[in-house]
Amino acid sequence: MKNITVLHVFVTLPVGGAEQLLASMVSKFNSNIKSMICCICDKGEIGERLEQDGHKIIVLNKLHKNGWDGSVVDDLCNIIRKYNVDLIHGQLYHSNLYSRFAAKRENIPAIISIHNTYNKQKKIHRRLINRYLLKYTSAIIVGSDDIKKDVVKYDHAPDKLIHTIPNSINISSIQTSFSRESARKNLGLSNNDLVLGTIGRLEEQKGHKFLLEALSILKKENIYIKLILIGDGRLRKDLEALSKILKIEKQVLFLGTRADIADLFPAMDVFIMPSLWEGLSLAMLTAMAAKLPVIATDVGGVKGVLEENSCGMVVKSGDASKLAQAIEQLMNNKPLLKRYASLGREVVKEKYSDVSMAKSILELYDSVLVKTG
């Protein structure tokens, strides 16, 4: 592949799944790929890390209100011309909009990434806009076949435009020197506690409400379980209030956003992913790589990973009772706990390596540039 410059566009780069995918991806690109990153609002924590690693970060400092700001397209066009950008790669909904309009104006190819299955309540205007912008789209990357089905069904995207490249992680980033005992001591937990863990933005999509309700159900059955809840978001106060209403506030540790996730995994017995809709959860893959048994809801590409490889337990989304049953069943089955822990890590090593993900994306870049060149 010849030397090319790729402009990656995000609204911001907090600690999230799509943002961590970007960091993993650009770190594995060949030296002939110059990756530039444009943040419409601000850098965020991942942006700061990428800049420290030597990547060019351009911040537009626009106030993002989920509306339309035509000046963002103007700014992207200026960046494309100034740095001779060959290809623009948008990530997440609003960035995907701006990227395609800028690519059209500057006559360069645009690739977009879609990271989640669609919330079925998604506003119809978004679907109509996506359909209109297909003519400005050179390729669509999705993390699972379930996302692909939604993009075909709701956006009317042709099959040939969509490329399934599974989300992947860097297993070496999950190294920790913490033992189970030391990790728990730091959190005020004892070795005898039964401990669940979950990671995700505190938003409706992530289904934390149902996990808290499952803990309440188990408590009524005299099963007392602690929960490490990593992540932050607009529902934090609501969830903290719910934990008090359910009388489980002493069982739940709201840790907020953490950079030391690898050091927290040893404190957990089981990882829970209670999402209502999802693509292919990076948090779940990371937990599997850390040798944690997983219980997850039947959404997006998650179900396929766990059921096809028999490496985790799948439950119906939005059902606290079913989730409570699964937690009790798995906690009482030591052989199955060990089996899921061992198998999960092997599956991630074999099928979800960030090296193979980067290779697939580079091949797509090359293919798109050849077609449009």
3-43 confidence digits (pLDDT tens):
999 999 998 887 777 888 888 888 888 888 999 999 999 88
**Domain range annotation of the chain:** 4-168+353-372, 171-351
State the average pLDDT over residues 114-141.
Answer: 82
C-beta separation of 280 from 124 below 8 A: no
Residues facing residue 313 across a β-bridge: 295
- Identical fold for domains 4-168+353-372 and 171-351, yes or no, is yes
Superfamily classification of domain 171-351: Glycogen Phosphorylase B; (3.40.50.2000)
The pTM score is 0.82
Residue 285: both structure tokens together: 């893959």
pLDDT tier at 1 (50, 70, 90 boundaries)? low
Of 211, 214, 187, nearest to 268 by C-alpha is 187
How far apart, in whole angstroms, are the C-alpha atoms of residue 250 and residue 214? 15
C-beta separation of 75 from 95 below 8 A: no
C-beta separation of 300 from 276 below 8 A: no
Match domain 4-168+353-372 to its CATH number in 2.40.50.430, 3.30.365.10, 3.40.50.2000, 1.20.1270.360.
3.40.50.2000
Of 59, 64, 69, nearest to 36 by C-alpha is 59
Q: What angle do CA 312, 315, 320 make, to 5 degrees?
A: 130
User: Which residue has tokens 């489980």?
Assistant: 248
Amino acid making up residue 353 = S
